[in-house]
Amino acid sequence: MSRTLKGPEEELSPTLQVSKISESVEIERPTEVKDIPPPKLSIRNLEAWFGTKRALKGINLDVRENSITAFIGPSGCGKTTLIRCLNRMHEMTPGASAKGQAILDGMDMYDAKVDPVTIKRRIGMVFQKPNPFPTMSIYDNVAAGLKLNGIKDKKLIDDIVRESLEGAALWEEVKNELNKPGMGLSGGQQQRLCIARALAMQPEILLMDEPTSSLDPIASSKIEELVHGMKKDLTVVIVTHNMQQAARVSDFTAFMYLGELIEYGDTKQIFENPRMELTERYISGKFG
Ligand SMILES: Nc1ncnc2c1ncn2[C@@H]1O[C@H](COP(=O)(O)OP(=O)(O)O)[C@@H](O)[C@H]1O
Ligand SMILES: [Mg+2]
């Protein structure tokens, strides 16, 4: 191949010195984008551990506001661990811990004063397998979080349930059966129900961990369409090991390997002109 790719020991991308943060670190900013939106979430030297095993080896990356960022990389490279760190879910695993910073609008979510519950409210999560609350109706699945947060106004809850189901492109299919069990829906509908449940909390960021990996192609493309439309209202991070999906749906792509961020850039650049040989090999299907 004629293209010269940089070796891993060289600098990955334009770097930026951050003066507000105690240590200055090299930060991955997406490359080759003309109008880069402001950072919504800045990840600094983030490490994640399972006991003594280090699953993330110091990640630095800015997630851009009102855009879709895809995390790609082979199985076991730390994609799930990373997004679980981004809403303080990682530490709920027994023996797991995290070090470093994840700065949401200027606030380090790992600061001792920060209540993880507020973080989970601001940063929603959709999991790999649809996981509606098994005993609850469609309506209650969406309303549960609101009720937990002390909202009692029935009209307000009705409105948010409807808006969230509309936002998840599920309303038309379920509006006449809101009291039926959520588990009675098809897989793709269940995943959209889980998206509606997350949207009901009006999150600023939605983290999605391979949200279509258990779905058929039609259900998957529905979710992709939905994700695409969401970025006008929120910031989306989507983990996927489907490269076509990352290329179709995201604005920025971060490629991870063995707990490290190898390359981060504009999605078009990553797929058409990767700067690292490892990225090139992964996206061309030579491993993974
Ligand atoms: N609960 C756990 N306990 C111990 N190790 C784990 C646990 N979950 C994940 N790991 C390890 O952390 C690394 C990253 O895993 P993960 O984030 O699930 O990767 P990915 O989502 O990219 O497939 C892997 O080596 C995996 O074996
Ligand atoms: Mg995973």
What is the CATH classification number for the domain harbouring 121?
Answer: 3.40.50.300
Evaluate whether residue 83 is within a structural domain: yes
What's the CA gap between 29 and 33, in Å, rounded?
Answer: 10
Write the single-letter amino acid at 254.
A
Specify the ligand 1 atom closest to the Cα of 74.
22
Evaluate whether residue 186 is within a structural domain: no
C-beta separation of 262 from 268 below 8 A: no
For ligand 1, is residue 14 a contact (CB within 6 Å)? no
Evaluate whether residue 106 is within a structural domain: yes
One digit per residue, the tens of pLDDT, for the chain of length 288 reads 333 333 333 333 333 333 333 445 677 777 655 678 889 999 999 999 999 999 999 999 999 999 999 999 999 999 999 999 999 999 999 999 999 999 999 999 999 999 999 999 999 999 999 999 999 999 999 999 999 999 999 999 999 999 999 999 999 999 999 999 999 999 999 999 999 999 999 999 999 999 999 999 999 999 999 999 999 999 999 999 899 999 999 999 999 999 999 999 999 999 999 999 999 999 999 988
For ligand 1, is residue 78 a contact (CB within 6 Å)? yes
Evaluate whether residue 164 is within a structural domain: no
Ligand 1 atom 4 nearest Cα? 50
For ligand 1, is residue 55 a contact (CB within 6 Å)? yes
Q: Residue 257 belongs to what domain range?
A: 39-128+204-283
pTM as predicted: 0.89
Evaluate whether residue 134 is within a structural domain: no
What's the CA gap between 130 and 215, in Å, rounded?
Answer: 9
C-beta separation of 119 from 104 below 8 A: yes
- What's the pLDDT at 31? 64
What's the CA gap between 207 and 143, in Å, rounded?
Answer: 20
What's the CA gap between 201 and 94, in Å, rounded?
Answer: 27
For ligand 1, is residue 75 a contact (CB within 6 Å)? yes
Ligand in nearest proximity to the CA of 260: 1
- What's the pLDDT at 94? 97
What's the CA gap between 135 and 124, in Å, rounded?
Answer: 21
CA atoms within 13 A on the CB side of 101: 19
- What's the pLDDT at 43? 98
Query: How far is ligand 2, taken at its centre, from the CA of residue 80, in Å?
Result: 4
Evaluate whether residue 63 is within a structural domain: yes
Evaluate whether residue 151 is within a structural domain: no
Evaluate whether residue 11 is within a structural domain: no
C-beta separation of 265 from 286 below 8 A: no
Number of domains composing the chain? 1
Ligand in nearest proximity to the CA of 84: 1
- What's the pLDDT at 26? 72
- What's the pLDDT at 287? 86
**Residue 141, burial from CB neighbour count under 10 angstroms (0-12, 13-18, 19+):** buried
Q: Dig out the tokens for 170 from the structure.
A: 């599920």
